[in-house]
Structure 1
Amino acid sequence: MQTLSDRPTARTFRATDSGLTAEMRAAFETDGYLVIEDFVPMDLCDRLMARATELVGGFDIEAHRTVFSTKSVAHATALYFQESGDAIRFFLEEEAVDAAGNLTRPKELAINKIGHAMHDLDPVFSEFSRQAHLAALAKGLLQDPLLLQSMYIFKQPGIGGEVSWHQDSTYLYTEPMSCIGFWFALEDADSSNGGMLAMRGGHRGPLRQRFRRLPDGKLETEKLVTTPWLEKDVVNLDARKGSLVVLHGLLPHYSSANRSTRSRHAYTLHCIDGACRYPADNWLRRGDHLPLRGF
């Protein structure tokens, strides 16, 4: 059986000012992902990390202690999560909270992620999210790219939670499907600190689940395909600091728990095509005060 470090590593591309090249397009259509090195200058990575630290510093952890976990999905029952589509909110690592609900480590080392509208509500995140060469890349993939969701992911040392195999279109569904994820490595990410894996070409398979909102407001995961994942053609999406990983919405991807002494900070931005329908039963909603915008 292969270990994470034994798996093949995805091919990489170099960033260009022209956006999506013909070679990139062909690779994305075949593999369902792109790894583009040196997409973001180091100082911009550091600036975003510093801003995330400032935001965490201002978070009142006594008022909200919502744990985010792809295993228990307990966060789905919390209004704090359900109403976060047009807000900036903070979610804790499962292993950072004991059975009594008390933190087991300092606040800054207990946060799992921040979500889900920093790209519209925070000027530093908005500027980062609307870089000209990212806009050029997105417009090569989508007819009318709209910035729907943003997440700052900490992947804390020692306790960074596993993210099970999933497809982003499970959570951000359009008709036809158009979701694309832009995942920025703000620190080096590899198999030793919870880096990502993907099933190469897996985006050509069906959508397996939908995470949707019921008429009563509750959130549920609807299974569309009941057979288990077949982990084949799995590659490491190793990404050096400043790299961008582009993910097709149907591409199965995963990240292991981070048991190392190194954090793995990343920023994820999800776009959808404004030419597609965004059904009302999607879990992520935005109020009229914050309409979707492009680049």
Structure 2
Amino acid sequence: MEQDGYVVLEDFLRPAECEELVAAGLELTKQAPDSTEKSIFSTIEGERQQLKDSYFLESNDKISFFFEAGALGSDSKLQVDPSVSLNKVGHALHLLHPIFRCYTFSDRVKAVCQELNFLEPSVVQSMYIYKNPGLGGEVSAHQDASYLYTDPIPPIGFWIALEDATVQNGCLWMAPGSHKSGVHRRLIRNPDKQSKEALIYDRGAPVYPQSAFTAVPVSKGTCILIHGNVVHKSAHNKSDKSRHAYTFHVIEKHNNNYSPDNWLQEGKNAPFMNLYTTPQIE
């Protein structure tokens, strides 16, 4: 982690455990809203509907559904089967869904946090990511700390491959060592309350050369630990195979500041739960 900014933990979950989570993820697709007010998720500069969208801002304590841009027509009606229409579901699966809660607050996750010397690790958000065949959109190069800024100790991401992640279906690409150069820009709550944009970036998008990135293909059940400052991305899934993943972010609460202008904030219905003391089952 210190050298590259990420660590690959193979066999973090057993195949049957991955299959249980995939089944839960597919079940969620049946609960997606059928209204015309569908929220699209995209990280590409210029496609920032979600940054103005109260649906996104208010998803900290809910199970919310975000569609792929390519899944919807101009009338917001689905152009594809609902089972392959979603980009992701978030951001409170770890609180509200019994299966995802069970895996998030597991002894395996606790053991990793102890290895990382966390004193009070707390889960702030969780996401099920679909990366569906043909539709799974590009995730542009970014640092997780841009969105979940903490100081002085950065957040850690747990990214768990529930299916084989290959170069063809959109595996992660990491820029080794990039975590040593600080936080390059931040997404913050807009101080201009009259603006239509609830969230803004504090500076322009950095440009990263493709040569800085290394593909990290992994097999089903692998967990990639991601330092909050390491730059990473994934490509469009142009293959015929999905690349489902479950990911959540952990912050150190002890002697560490979670920025009050981060988009996601702790709330009455979405407390940042201590990993060491929170039971797997309510």
Which position in structure 1 is the counterpart of 2:32? 59
Alignment gaps of 5+ in structure 2:
276-282
**Cα contact 2:92–2:270 (8 A) shared by 1:** no
Is it true that 1:31 corresponds to 2:4 in the alignment?
yes
Taking the aligned partners of 2:153 and 2:189, their CA distance within structure 1 comes to 18
SS of 1:31's partner is: coil
Is the counterpart of residue 281 in structure 1 residue 261 in structure 2? yes
Which amino acid in structure 1 is aligned with residue 164 of structure 2? D
Matched, 1:50 2:30: no
Greater shift, 231-240 or 176-185, is seen at: 231-240
- Equivalent residue in structure 2 for 1:147, among 97, 119, 123: 123
2:200 and 2:83 mapped to 1: Cα distance?
30
- Of residues 158, 180, 200, the one that matches 2:176 is 200
TM-score between the two structures when normalised by the length of structure 2: 0.91
Whether the 8 Å CA contact 1:186–1:266 is kept in 2: the answer is: yes
Deviation per residue, 1:169-190 (Å, 9 max, x gap): 0000112142110000000001
CA distance in 1, matches of 2:38, 2:133: 20
Aligned to 2:104: 129
* Distance across 1 between alignment mates of 2:206 and 2:270: 39
Counterpart position of 1:96:
71
Do the aligned partners of 1:169 and 1:177 also contact (CA within 8 Å) in 2?
Answer: no
* 1:52-88 residue CA offsets vs partner (Å, 9 max, x unmatched): 2222212222164000000112111111111101111
State the secondary structure of the residue aligned to 1:85.
helix
Equivalent pairs: percent with the same residue? 37
Structure 1 runs of 4+ aligned residues shifted over 4 Å read none
Matched, 1:210 2:183: no
Q: What is the root-mean-square deviation of aligned Cα atoms in Å?
A: 1.5
What corresponds to 1:109 in structure 2? 84
Does the 8 Å contact 1:199/1:231 carry over to 2? no
TM norm structure 1: 0.87
Tell me which residue corresponds to 1:14: none
Matched, 1:165 2:145: no
Q: Could you list the runs of 5+ residues in structure 1 that have no partner in the other structure?
A: 1-27
Aligned with 1:212: secondary structure?
A: strand
Q: Answer whether contact 1:181 1:248 (CA < 8 A) is retained.
A: yes
Quick one: which amino acid aligns to residue 169 of structure 2? Answer: N
Structure 2: distance between partners of 1:136 and 1:84:
28
For residue 227 of structure 2, the aligned residue among 240, 244, 248 is 248
- CA displacement at 1:129 relative to structure 2: 0.7
The answer (yes or no) to whether the contact 2:33–2:65 under 8 Å persists in 1 is: no
Q: In the alignment, is the contact (CA less than 8 A) between 1:86 and 1:285 conserved in 2? A: no
In the TM superposition, residue 98 of structure 1 has moved relative to its aligned partner by 1.7
CA displacement at 1:159 relative to structure 2: 1.0
| CA shift for structure 1 position 226 | 6.3
Contact 1:150-1:268 within 8 A present in 2 as well: yes
d(CA) in 2 for partners of 1:210, 1:227: 11
Provide the secondary structure at the position in 1 that maps to 2:186: strand
**Contact 2:188–2:261, Cα closer than 8 Å, also in 1:** yes
Find the counterpart in structure 1 of residue 279 from structure 2: none
| Map 1:219-238 → 2, pairs under 5 A | 219-223=199-203, 228-238=207-217
Moved more, 185-194 or 169-178: 169-178
How many residues get paired? 267
